[in-house]
Chains A and B, each alone.
Chain A
């Protein structure tokens, strides 16, 4: 997996797809969907895409731009377990596609 995936950087720069939350600062170029993030490390959510329901559900779970979370499973974001605000969440691939994160 390349760090600067062209599709990802394109999403982040243009940002025309229903973004859920207030963006205090632009999404960095190396932001990538959680589903394409590998390894166990700490990431920071920079943007959440998707329909109103997904955005609301993420907000309910406390996942918002600026939220830092630990990616727990080695297999990466396709089948993803993250630690957010002390809680462990499992996130499926379709949802993980909508969460754009950067490494912390």
Chain B
């Protein structure tokens, strides 16, 4: 087999790159990020006629300028990695605009094969394209294909191999840009060539064009290479810019774009394109949009679709979640039965199995959520949701696409911030993405719901539904205000203009859906799994060590022994007298109370317990006692832990999230608790630091632990300030009695 050929798939967004990529590589693909940015890097392999071919799916771009991360990434890849062939996927039904990018590849002098995709769509619109004529005029191979069905793909492979074999001496195409620009280019070219300014990477004429377009990346590179020459070239650019501004009130890049489109038009008008009939300008997609983005119907349909996604994700994944829970529970039981009691067993059960179980337990939810999102994304509906929501979200410094992560994280109550954080990948603008990433944990996820239900049920049972609704509204309000605050402070900057192409509605392919779902789910498993083990063991250690002093352990053991002896005695006497059964029950209760007291004492003595006690000096301003503090510290691991830790701290033993009645009664009857304290705790739990799985995901998605720590600190300070306000106001109004 020959050495691997490298090809890059480039093209406009929605031109069909990913469809072709999935068809070529199937499951043999790897998704990562380009270094330093959050743009996805997809690579895969396939074999054709004995040649191993490595394919890179570049992000969709409209040009090779430096105005977006995607454009920079695509350009850098082509220039630095120098693939053997660049396959430019061109949407045949929108040829003129798609060839604008092709034109720039030709100017860059890279080996290009044009894949004329969606010729069937073009034909249905009455557009016939003479691919041979186009190839002749552009000087590069043009292969008509239909990526969805695979038609023409074999010929494309053959052409790629041919081009790779003959593409050693490609000469950049030289377009004419009118008298003014051409004169400036003729002044700049000798300077660039004589001084070899970046000519080892780019063609000289292309560098000169980028100077005229004021391309910041190229200017920076040129300055680093030769500052004096860069200034001289910039003087020429300034002269021509001033001239164009004075005479035509335009920038050089406008003239350049004008001439590129002029060149494309001249090519197309030489018999390349034939419009057989002038079809209805409004296609089926536009007719669907009339309904789907209607002022009144649109939001109703959107709410229904989002509710459907939400239901699909959280209801239909239940059986798989339960299955995984059973697997981990079986593992727990097995370890419990086969390992001797001691720290190792405790660590394996509470640290490793429960910790990993907590993370992997999310996998079915994540998988279902990404499948649902893939359906919406591939069908083209997600772009419409972003379009409809942009106006509202824009006010808060977010992007229309932010709505999906908010909903998934619990916007309708009961979601999960982990897939919510992962769903921010659909956002392309970095600052809006970061603001979304940091505010989605404010939503009421499924893990917070039992805690909210417990506290509302205990203290506000008369208005339970109303308080639950208010909690959801408060979550939205706080998240949006926090986003606005972040965008005005640490994430300050202009909003990214919401100019995006809305893809036509299409039926998603099952192959595409499965690949999209799996690649994102696998990323979660891999990324979350790498650090999760260490963190879960650390949290287990915090709640376990240091253990109880030996004298206390001995005291509890003695008391247990006495009760067990009494129980044994009763069992021996049981056959003789049935009246001793109540006494047995009392002893069992006594034993359970003893176990609970021991668990409570152990927790109090642990590092987490000591932190809880130490925090009491500050937390009392919000009305939290040390038991509550321990539960809240435990909540860093997972919000579900709050209930079980409260149960332990209030000497109730293990309390499951499904059965909280006894804890509810205990809290309602506890002299320290009252509606004001409950409200303060409620507010704190809703808004303080996200659980550690979410924190890990934030760190991974943001590309830095700095943002994960920021999220923990910012949310906790905000939540505590809110809790203090609520508690102190309650006390001031005399409601805390």
Footprint of B on A, CB under 8 Å?
A: 15-16, 18-23, 52-57, 59-62, 64, 70, 72-75, 78-79, 81, 83-95
Distance in angstroms between the alpha carbons of A22 and B383 in the assembled complex:
32
Measured CA separation A52–B249 after assembly (Å): 12
Contacts of A75 in B (CB 8 A): 295
A residues in contact with B62, CB < 8 Å: 57, 60-61
A22 and B499 contacting across the interface, CB-CB below 8 Å: no
B contact residues around A54 at 8 Å (CB): 497
Determine the chain A residues whose CB is within 8 A of the CB of B497 once the complex forms.
Answer: 54, 57, 92, 94-95
B293 within 8 A of A: yes
Nearest CB in chain B: distance from A27 CB, A = 11
C-alpha spacing A74/B499, complex, angstroms: 18
Q: Is the pair B499, A62 in contact by a Cβ cutoff of 8 Å?
A: no
Contacting pair A22 B63 (CB below 8 A): no
Say which residue of A19, A52, A70, A91 sits within 8 Å of B499 (CB atoms): A91
Check A53 against B67 for contact (C-beta < 8 Å): yes
Cβ–Cβ < 8 Å partners of A78 in chain B: 391
Per the bound structure, the CA–CA distance linking A16 and B97 in Å amounts to 29
B341 at interface, CB cutoff 8 A? no
List of B residues within 8 angstroms of A57 by Cβ: 62, 67, 497, 499
Q: CA of A49 to CA of B297 in the docked complex: distance in angstroms?
A: 34
A-side interface mostly: mixed
Which listed residue, A59, A61, A87, touches B254 by the CB 8 Å rule? Answer: A59
A15, B249: Cβ atoms closer than 8 Å: yes
> Is the CB–CB distance between A60 and B390 below 8 Å?
no
Chain B residues with Cβ under 8 A from A74's Cβ? Answer: 295
CB atoms of B94 and A55 under 8 A apart: no
Contact call B250/A56, Cβ cutoff below 8 A: no
CB distance from B103 to the nearest CB of A (A): 11
Q: Which of B68-85 contact A (CB under 8 A)?
A: none
Contact A90 B254 (CB under 8 A): no
What CA separation (Å) do A21 and B213 show in the bound complex?
Answer: 13
Q: Is A88 a contact partner of B254 (Cβ separation < 8 A)? A: no
For the complex, is B387 an interface residue (Cβ under 8 Å from A)?
Answer: yes
Is B213 a contact of A19 with CB atoms below 8 Å? no
B500→A86 contact, CB < 8 A: no
**Nearest CB in chain B to that of A79: its residue:** B391
Instruction: Please measure, in the bound complex, the distance between the C-alpha atom of A56 and the C-alpha atom of B61, giving whole angstroms.
Output: 13
Q: Are B125 and A86 in contact (CB under 8 A)?
A: yes
- Complex CA–CA separation, A56 to B65 (angstroms): 9
> Could you list 29 A-B pairs, sorted by A, with CB under 8 Å?
A15-B249, A18-B249, A19-B250, A20-B254, A52-B253, A53-B67, A55-B251, A56-B67, A56-B213, A57-B497, A57-B499, A59-B254, A60-B67, A64-B257, A70-B281, A72-B286, A73-B293, A78-B391, A79-B387, A81-B293, A84-B97, A85-B94, A88-B289, A89-B502, A90-B383, A90-B498, A91-B499, A92-B498, A94-B497
Top 6 closest pairs, chain A to chain B, by CB: A59-B257, A60-B62, A92-B498, A62-B97, A86-B94, A60-B63
Is residue B248 within 8 Å, beta carbon to beta carbon, of the partner chain?
yes
**What is the bound-complex CA distance between A85 and B286, given in angstroms?**
14
Complex Cα–Cα for A12 and B669 (A): 74
Within 8 A of A (CB), among B445-503: 495, 497-502
In the bound complex, CA of A72 to CA of B290 (Å): 8
Closest partner residue, chain A, to B285 (CB atom): A88
Asked whether, in the complex, the Cβ of A55 is within 8 Å of the Cβ of B289, the reply is: no
Are the CB atoms of B498 and A86 closer together than 8 Å? no
**B23 CB within 8 Å of chain A:** no
Contacting pair A22 B502 (CB below 8 A): no
Chain A positions within 8 Å of B281 at CB level: 70, 83
Tell whether, in the assembled complex, residue B282 and residue A83 are in contact, meaning their CB atoms are under 8 Å apart: yes
The answer for the CA separation of A93 and B538 in the assembled complex, in Å, is 50
Q: Is the CB of B261 within 8 A of A90?
A: no
Residues of A within 8 A of B390 (CB): 79, 90, 92
The 8 A CB mask of B254-278 against A (1 = contact, 0 = none) is 1101100100000000000000000
Chain A residues contacting B203 (CB-CB under 8 Å) are: none
Nearest neighbor of A67 in chain B, beta-carbon distance: B261
Q: Does B692 contact A (CB under 8 A)?
A: no
Task: Evaluate contact between B258 and A90: CB separation under 8 angstroms.
Answer: no
Please give 17 more A-B residue pairs, beta carbons under 8 A apart, in addition to A59-B257, A60-B65, A72-B282.
A18-B249, A21-B254, A23-B248, A52-B214, A55-B251, A55-B253, A56-B253, A59-B258, A60-B100, A70-B282, A72-B290, A83-B286, A85-B94, A90-B386, A92-B394, A94-B497, A95-B499
Cα A102 to Cα B621 in complex, Å, equals 63
Q: How many Å from the CB of B10 to the closest CB on chain A? A: 14
Residue among A52, A53, A60 facing the most chain B CB atoms (10 A cut-off): A60
Known contacts A18-B249, A56-B257: A61-B499 contact under CB 8 Å: yes
- B357 CB-CB contact with A under 8 Å: no
0/1 interface trace, chain B 549-583, chain A, CB 8 Å (1 if under): 00000000000000000000000000000000000
User: What's the Cα separation between A75 and B504 when bound, in Å?
Assistant: 21
A26 CB to closest chain B CB (Å) equals 12
| Distance of A72 Cα from B384 Cα, bound (Å) | 13
Closest to A65 in B: B258
Contacts of A64 in B (CB 8 A): 257-258, 261
Q: Is B93 an interface residue (CB 8 A)?
A: yes
Smallest CB gap from A88: residue in B? B502
Does A22 lie within 8 Å of B295, measured CB to CB?
Answer: no
| B52 in the interface (beta carbon within 8 A) | no
A92 to B495, CA, bound (A): 11
Q: When the two chains form their complex, are residues A22 and B254 in contact, meaning their CB atoms are under 8 A apart?
A: yes
CB distance from B536 to the nearest CB of A (A): 44
Does B96 make an interface contact (CB < 8 A)?
yes
Residue of B nearest to A61 (CB): B62
State in angstroms the CA–CA spacing of A94 and B390 once bound together.
12
Query: In the complex, what's the smallest C-beta–C-beta distance from B354 to chain A, in angstroms?
Result: 46
Pick the residue among A20, A61, A81, A87 that contacts B387 (CB under 8 A): A81
Q: Which chain B residue lies CB-closest to A51? A: B251
- Which B residues between 357 and 395 are near A, CB-CB below 8 angstroms? 383, 386-387, 390-391, 394
Taking a contact as CB atoms closer than 8 A, the residue among A59, A84, A88, A93 that contacts B286 in the complex is A88
- CB contacts (< 8 Å) of A90 on chain B: these are 383, 386-387, 390, 498-500, 502
A79 to B499, CA, bound (A): 11
Min Cβ gap A97→B in Å is 11
Shortest distance from the beta carbon of B51 to any chain A beta carbon, whole Å: 34
**B495 CB contacts on chain A under 8 angstroms:** 94
Residue among A54, A56, A61, A94 with the highest chain B CB neighbour number at 10 A:
A56
CA distance in complex: A54, B499 (Å): 10
Give A74 to B298 CA distance when docked, in angstroms.
Answer: 13
> Which residue from A15, A62, A83, A95 sits with its C-beta under 8 Å from B100?
A62
Looking across the interface, which residue of chain A has its beta carbon closest to that of B388? Answer: A79
CB distance from A81 to the nearest CB of B (A): 7
CB distance from B25 to the nearest CB of A (A): 27
B-chain residues with CB within 8 Å of residue A87 when the two chains form the complex: 94, 97, 501
Contacts of A20 in B (CB 8 A): 250-251, 254
A52 & B251 in contact (Cβ 8 Å cutoff)? yes
**Closest CB-CB distance, A62 to chain B, in whole Å?**
4
CB pair A61–B250 under 8 Å, yes or no, is no
Q: State whether A21 touches B250 (Cβ < 8 A).
A: yes
Interface string of B385-425 (1 = CB under 8 A from A): 01100110010000000000000000000000000000000
The answer to whether A86 and B93 touch across the interface, beta carbons within 8 angstroms, is yes
* Minimum CB–CB distance for A50 against chain B, Å: 9
Q: Please encode chain B, from 494 to 519, with 1 for each CB lying within 8 Å of some chain A CB and 0 for all others.
A: 01011111101000000000000000
Closest to A62 in B: B97
Interface code B54-69, partner A: CB below 8 Å = 1, 0 otherwise? 0000000011010100
Report the nearest B residue to A52, measured CB to CB. B251
Q: How far is the CA of A94 from the CA of B394 in the complex (A)?
A: 11
Bound form: Cα–Cα A72–B282 in Å: 9
